[in-house]
Amino acid sequence: MNDHDYVNFSQEHELNYILKKFDKRQTQSNRNILVGIGESVKASTGKSILKHGEFHPYVKSKLSRLE
């Protein structure tokens, strides 16, 4: 398991990386929204950890929630 492949929702720089990828502001509010999206995805998929490649499509579908 390569740690680089997985989203660490407790690290601001990882969340900022995702926000920057989608041209969204790197604010605490947006990071909180990403954490919420992550929790929702984990609950719906039954997974405890998410890879960047599987999480980013979910983020893309929720861009309207981000500033």
**pTM to 2 decimal places:** 0.92
Q: Of 2, 29, 22, 3, whose CA–CA distance to 12 is shortest?
A: 29
Residue 9: domain span: 3-65
Quick one: pLDDT at residue 64?
Answer: 95
Quick one: pLDDT at residue 1?
Answer: 63
Distance of alpha carbon 3 from alpha carbon 62, whole angstroms: 25
pLDDT in tens, the chain (67 residues): 677 899 999 999 999 999 999 999 999 999 999 999 999 999 999 999 999 999 999 999 999 999 9
* Spatial contact of 25 and 67, defined as CB atoms under 8 Å apart: yes
Q: Of 14, 29, 22, 7, whose CA–CA distance to 62 is shortest?
A: 22
Quick one: pLDDT at residue 10?
Answer: 96
